[in-house]
Amino acid sequence: MTVKLAVTGAAGRMGKMLIEAIAAAEGVTLTAAVVRPGSSLVGADAGELAGIGKNGVRLVGDLHEVVEDFDVLIDFTTPKATLENVTICADAHKKIVVGTTGFDEAQKSTLLAAQDATALCFSANYATGVNLVFKLLAEAAKTLGDDYDVEVYEAHHRHKVDAPSGTALRMGEVLAGALERDLNQVAVYGREGQTGARARDTIGFATVRGGDVVGDHTVMFMAEGERVEITHKASSRMAFARGAVRAAQWLQAKKTGMFDMQDVLGLR
């Protein structure tokens, strides 16, 4: 059965990449594409906008207009817009893949509440390689333990609005869980001035923004005499888009509940 997909933020960098990824994938088809209300692009052909040629899907400015036209929505927009779209999907019992980052705790709670009405996949990163790295980080942390200092470095393009990245924060959560630490208590986000000696249980984060970096993440485990580094570098957003499409196909078989890319890939 072909899974019918919709994309919000269709005029953005990630939206266009998702449209391209859907066109290249088997077993799925794009049936709806949404842009901001009032956009001058409303009515344009989604495939033509994405640079893959006309596909007959016209851009709309309101998800309500097309809510009956798809099985699963893929949303990489903003926290506010995503929560509005999740509400619409939950009311219509439509599934949704959420790739948006930067949610605060209250927004995450709202997101979680929707799982009683529909199925959601919410992941900090949809690249297959990154999700493998999450698994490796947990194993490395358990093996190396408290004898190693742990630091997380991430770099992204100049347009990214949240920091640290959702992927870096997820890495911190994985590390803290494996080391039996409370991330809220041990996280250090940047350093400046006379900070004193490093506390043993610290999990540090360093953030870089500039240029067109798609996404670099490195976790360093450092001890006297040696250093272990686990790195993932994304050179194209297509890695995220392909993963999101894969997640949408997998999610179609679920009725309700909250899942992530670890579930999709069977890495639990």
- Spans of all domains in the chain: 3-122+237-265, 128-234
Q: What is the average per-residue pLDDT within 232-261?
A: 96
With pLDDT > 90 as the criterion, what percentage of the chain qualifies?
98
Q: ω before 164 within 30° of 0 (cis)?
A: yes
Whether 109 shows a pLDDT value over 90: the answer reads: yes
pLDDT at 123: 94
pLDDT at 1: 84
Write down the mean pLDDT value for the chain: 96
| 27-69 confidence digits (pLDDT tens) | 999 999 999 999 999 999 999 999 999 999 999 999 999 999 9
pLDDT at 35: 97
pLDDT at 96: 98
Q: Which of 4, 135, 160, 254 is catalytic?
A: 160
Cβ(37)–Cβ(64) below 8 Å: no
CATH number attached to the domain at 3-122+237-265: 3.40.50.720
| 151-169 confidence digits (pLDDT tens) | 999 999 999 999 999 999 9
Angle at 156 between CA 151 and CA 162, to 5 degrees: 85
Answer yes or no: 4 catalytic.
no
The CA distances from residue 62 to 9, 69, 75, 134, 154, in Å, are 11, 13, 13, 36, 34
Answer yes or no: 160 catalytic.
yes
Q: What is the average per-residue pLDDT within 84-91?
A: 97
Q: Which of 16, 94, 95, 156 is catalytic?
A: 156
| 175-217 confidence digits (pLDDT tens) | 999 999 999 999 999 999 999 999 999 999 999 999 999 999 9
What would the two tokens of residue 131 be?
Answer: 């999700």
CATH number attached to the domain at 128-234: 3.30.360.10
